[in-house]
Amino acid sequence: MPNDANIALVPVERDLDVTSVGELRCSIDQLIERGCLRIILNMAAVGYIDSAGMGLIIHEIARMRSAGGLLSLTNVSRPVLRSLTLARVIDYVPVSVMGAKRDIPELDPSVQPLWRWAFRVDASDLAATRAKVARLLDRIPFTADEHFDMALAVGEAMGNAVDHCGGTSLVSIAGFPDRAIVEISDCGCGFKEPAGQGVAVGEWDERGRGIKLMRLLADSVSFSRKCVGTGTVVRLVKLADGRRAHDARETTG
């Protein structure tokens, strides 16, 4: 179960029914009690969900929200999505469908951001920098869940930059009508994600902080070397269209 203080990816390894909800409830409750703010249930192995499973999800959603956090489901199969839709569970939890890959429309090169801010990441007070990022993201027409996820993804990227480089890191946020684009750059020895791999290996990955989970929170995550000097640039994109639940319903049609 990859996790840190803020995020956990929890694999649900069999059908979610009356015989398995107790084990999953214990796992989720332990994470909440440790202060985890974002739990993602990987439903790839779940082919069936009954009323007990749906009841567990609704209960844990309520617990997470009351604690200021968020629970969501990923890799949901079409039959399970259909069940969640009929029971209206999908109205309360962010869901991504197995095999679905969200297209990120390219911006026309002539399109300029509505606004752009750039500032240093304060390694001595990351909480203050995260709060500044969250205030800027308030300007994007995100749903509450989209805002939560993007702020958390950027926070993880900034933490990685500080840990990876130990020196000056910069964050740039650009706001567009339909998205936020955030770039975090450091002055470390340089890092580039290996070609053809969904999750990079190495210092970032082995400390369990970032790349795989950031991909679950943002719509696009990419890595490149800085054009000038040494260091890495992490680019996060989050669309803000509020159509996720509607799109999921449409796939069950």
Cα–Cα distance for residue pair 32/26, rounded to 1 Å: 10
Q: Is the pLDDT of residue 91 over 70?
A: yes
For tokens 């996720």, name the residue.
Answer: 244
Closest to 149 measured CA to CA, from 215, 97, 60: 215
Which residues share a beta bridge with 84?
A: none
Structural domain boundaries in the chain: 7-100, 115-239
- In this prediction, residue 5 carries a pLDDT of 52
- In this prediction, residue 167 carries a pLDDT of 64
The Cα-based distances of 166 to 123, 147, 202 in angstroms read 8, 28, 17
Using one digit for the tens of pLDDT, what is the confidence trace for 8-49? Answer: 899 999 999 999 999 999 999 999 999 999 999 999 999 999
C-beta of residue 76 within 8 angstroms of C-beta of residue 96:
yes
Q: Write the class of the CATH domain 115-239.
A: alpha beta
Q: What is the DSSP letter of 213?
A: H
The Cβ-side half-sphere exposure at 242, using a 13 Å CA radius, reads 6
Neighbours of 174 (CB within 10 A): 20
7-100 architecture in CATH?
Answer: 2-Layer Sandwich (3.30)
| pTM, two decimal places | 0.76
